Structure 1
Amino acid sequence: MRIAVASQNFRTVTPHAGKTRRFLIFEVATGAPAREAGRLDLPKELSIHEFRGEGPHPLDEVEAVIAGSAGEGFVRRMAARGIRAVATAETDPAEAAAALAAGRLRPAAPHDHDDEDGCCH
């Protein structure tokens, strides 16, 4: 399974999935530790909050995206691209990816998302 984890500093899981431009990409096989397979450092116009294109997007290569928070708009946009979006309280990116693959990822604490366009927080 290929998983993108929002991480603005490439060390911890960060919130605001739609506005995030940096992602750690992990390959995870059942029962194995997550292996970092790459990094995305996107220009602002490719953040999901800004991206309005119908064409391909670098996140299209993953099956799931994990962040510390994700608004309903982000979840909808990812689902439309065939990508599962998940918010978590986990702070370690590799552990978050492994936990998602194992079906034991801790959910994020609920909070309000107040974006004007209902997109992405």
Structure 2
Amino acid sequence: MKIAVTSQNRKTVTEHAGACRKFWIFTVKDNQILTTQLLELPKEQSFRESDPHAEHPLDDIDVLITAGMGRGLPQRLKKKGIQALLTDISDPVEAVNQMLQVS
């Protein structure tokens, strides 16, 4: 499973998922984090700027965790088979671990 976490400042889970260009990508297996890498996108590949029907670098994730997003983004992600989740946890690793405990 691949989980993306919005982190525009590279440190915490941030809001404005549509405008975010920096994401921590977690690869998870058997509820354990295997790898973590930072994905940095150019402005034109932010969700806000990109075509919702075009291929996107985050198309292969299963879950997007963020501190905030507009109403349209969850529907856009759902059409690509991606679950969108809101969190109030600021640490990206803790947010992923919390999601894994709940699921």
Establish whether TM, by shorter chain, passes 0.5: yes
The amino acid that maps onto 2:71 is E
1:23 lines up with 2:26 in the alignment: no
Q: Is the alpha carbon distance of 1:47 and 1:6 closer, same or farther for their aligned partners in structure 2, counting shifts above 3 Å?
A: same
The amino acid that maps onto 1:65 is L
Q: What aligned pairs does 1:93-112 form with structure 2 within 5 A after superposition?
A: 93-103=92-102
Q: Which residue of 2 aligns with 1:111?
A: none
Q: Which residue of 2 aligns with 1:8?
A: 8
Q: Which residue of 2 aligns with 1:66?
A: 65
Q: How many residues align?
A: 103
Report which of the two has the higher share of strand.
2
Segments of 4+ in structure 1 off by > 3 A?
none
Check whether the contact 1:78–1:84 (CA below 8 A) recurs between aligned residues: yes
Equivalents in 1 of 2:88, 2:42: separation in Å?
26
Identity across the alignment (%): 40
The amino acid that maps onto 1:52 is D
| Largest Rg, 1 or 2 | 1
Check whether the contact 1:36–1:94 (CA below 8 A) recurs between aligned residues: no
TM-score (norm 1): 0.77
1:90 is paired with a residue whose SS is: coil
The amino acid that maps onto 1:83 is I
Equivalents in 2 of 1:89, 1:53: separation in Å?
26
Equivalents in 1 of 2:31, 2:79: separation in Å?
29
1:12 is paired with a residue whose SS is: coil
Equivalents in 2 of 1:38, 1:30: separation in Å?
19
Please tell me the root mean square deviation across aligned C-alpha atoms, in Å: 1.6
What residue ranges of structure 2 are gaps of 5+ in the alignment?
A: none
